[in-house]
Chain A
Amino acid sequence: MAHLLSDGPRQDATGRTPGAGWRSRAFKLLKATTTPLLPEDYVDLFDPLRTSTVLRARVVDIVAETQDAATVVLRPGRTWRGHVPGQYIRIGVDVDGVRMWRAYSVTSGPREDGCIAITIKAITGGAVSTHLVESLKVGQIVQMEQADGAFVLPEVLPSKILLLTGGSGITPVMGILRHAVEDLDDVILLHSAPRPEDVIFAEELRELGANDRITLVERHTDEHGLLDTDELEALVPDWRERETWACGPAGMLEMLEGHWEQAGHAHRLHTERFRPALAEPGEGGTVYFTKTDREIECDGARPILDIGEEAGVLMPSGCRMGICYGCVLPMREGSVRDLRTGEVTSATPGDGILIQTCISAAAGRCDLVL
Chain B
Amino acid sequence: MTALQKKEHNPVAHMTPEDIESLGKELDAVRAEIIESRGAKDAAYIRRTIDVQRKLELGSRAVLLFSKYKPAFALGTAGLTVSKILENMEIGHNVMHGQWDWMRDPKIHSTTWEWDNASPADLWKHSHNELHHTYTNVLGRDNDLGYGIMRVDEDQPWVPFYLGQPVWNFINACFFEYGIAAYDLELGKYMKGRKDKAVFKRDLGKVGQKVRNQMTRDYVIHPLLAAPTGSWGRTLLANYLSNLGRNLWTHSVIMCGHFPEGVETFTKTSIEGESRGEWYLRQMIGSANISGSKAMHIATGNLSYQIEHHLFPDLPSNRYAEISVKVRDICERYGLQYTSGPLPKQVASAWMKVIRLSLPNHIAAKVKFPSRRKPVAPTALPSRRVDTGEVAA
Whether A29 is near chain B, meaning CB under 8 Å from some CB there, is yes
Whether A318 is near chain B, meaning CB under 8 Å from some CB there, is yes
Tell me which residues across on chain A come within 8 A of B125, comparing CB atoms.
Answer: 324-326
Whether A1 is near chain B, meaning CB under 8 Å from some CB there, is yes
Asked if residues B129 and A325 are in contact (CB atoms below 8 Å), the reply is yes
- Kindly provide the distance from the CB of A62 to the nearest chain B CB, expressed in whole angstroms: 20
Tell me which residues across on chain B come within 8 A of A4, comparing CB atoms.
Answer: 111-112
Residue in B closest to A327 when the chains form the complex, CB atoms: B130
Stretch of B101-109, B241-249, B370-378 with 4 or more beta carbons under 8 angstroms from chain A: B101-109
Whether A321 is near chain B, meaning CB under 8 Å from some CB there, is yes
Contact of A36 among B54, B58, B107, B115 (CB under 8 A): B115
Tell me which residues across on chain B come within 8 A of A100, comparing CB atoms.
Answer: 104
Residues of A in contact, count (CB < 8 Å): 35
Asked if residues B103 and A97 are in contact (CB atoms below 8 Å), the reply is yes
Name the interface residues of B19-52: CB closer than 8 Å to any CB of A. Answer: 28, 32, 35, 38-44, 51
Asked if residues A323 and B129 are in contact (CB atoms below 8 Å), the reply is yes
Asked if residues A98 and B133 are in contact (CB atoms below 8 Å), the reply is no
Tell me which residues across on chain B come within 8 A of A319, comparing CB atoms.
Answer: 129-130, 133-134
Bound CA–CA A35/B111 (angstroms) = 17
Asked if residues A5 and B104 are in contact (CB atoms below 8 Å), the reply is no
Contact of A323 among B35, B114, B134, B213 (CB under 8 A): B134
Tell me which residues across on chain B come within 8 A of A322, comparing CB atoms.
Answer: 314
Tell me which residues across on chain A come within 8 A of B108, comparing CB atoms.
Answer: 1
Bound CA–CA A320/B102 (angstroms) = 18
Whether B383 is near chain A, meaning CB under 8 Å from some CB there, is no
> A1-23 interface mask toward B, CB cutoff 8 Å, 1 = contact, 0 = none?
11111000000000000000000
Asked if residues B110 and A328 are in contact (CB atoms below 8 Å), the reply is yes
Residue in A closest to B104 when the chains form the complex, CB atoms: A99
- Kindly provide the distance from the CB of A342 to the nearest chain B CB, expressed in whole angstroms: 10
User: Counting chain B CB atoms within 10 Å of each CB, which of A1, A98, A318, A341 scores highest?
Assistant: A1
Asked if residues B98 and A33 are in contact (CB atoms below 8 Å), the reply is no
Bound CA–CA A301/B130 (angstroms) = 24
Whether A354 is near chain B, meaning CB under 8 Å from some CB there, is yes
Asked if residues A354 and B111 are in contact (CB atoms below 8 Å), the reply is yes
- Kindly provide the distance from the CB of A350 to the nearest chain B CB, expressed in whole angstroms: 14
Bound CA–CA A36/B43 (angstroms) = 23
Whether B229 is near chain A, meaning CB under 8 Å from some CB there, is no
Bound CA–CA A45/B35 (angstroms) = 29
- Kindly provide the distance from the CB of B110 to the nearest chain A CB, expressed in whole angstroms: 5
Whether B55 is near chain A, meaning CB under 8 Å from some CB there, is yes
Asked if residues A35 and B43 are in contact (CB atoms below 8 Å), the reply is no
Stretch of B167-175, B190-198, B215-223, B345-353 with 4 or more beta carbons under 8 angstroms from chain A: B215-223
Asked if residues B55 and A3 are in contact (CB atoms below 8 Å), the reply is no
Asked if residues B222 and A325 are in contact (CB atoms below 8 Å), the reply is no
Whether B97 is near chain A, meaning CB under 8 Å from some CB there, is yes
> B56-89 interface mask toward A, CB cutoff 8 Å, 1 = contact, 0 = none?
0010000000000000000000000000000000
Asked if residues B115 and A94 are in contact (CB atoms below 8 Å), the reply is no
Asked if residues A41 and B54 are in contact (CB atoms below 8 Å), the reply is yes
Known: A45-B55, A318-B126. A35 touches B102 (CB 8 A): no
Tell me which residues across on chain A come within 8 A of B179, comparing CB atoms.
Answer: none
Whether A32 is near chain B, meaning CB under 8 Å from some CB there, is yes
Known: A323-B314, A328-B110. A42 touches B129 (CB 8 A): no
Whether B158 is near chain A, meaning CB under 8 Å from some CB there, is no
Tell me which residues across on chain A come within 8 A of B55, comparing CB atoms.
Answer: 45
Asked if residues A326 and B40 are in contact (CB atoms below 8 Å), the reply is no
Asked if residues A94 and B40 are in contact (CB atoms below 8 Å), the reply is yes
Asked if residues B129 and A326 are in contact (CB atoms below 8 Å), the reply is yes
B residues with a Cβ closer than 8 A to A are 28, 32, 35, 38-44, 51, 54-55, 58, 97-98, 101-116, 125-126, 129-130, 133-134, 210, 213-214, 216-217, 221-222, 225, 279, 313-314
Listed by A's residue number, 10 A-B pairs whose Cβ atoms lie within 8 Å are A2-B114, A5-B106, A42-B54, A45-B51, A97-B39, A97-B43, A319-B133, A323-B314, A324-B133, A353-B104
> Top 9 nearest A-B pairs by Cβ distance?
A97-B43, A324-B129, A325-B98, A99-B104, A318-B130, A324-B130, A36-B114, A319-B134, A35-B213
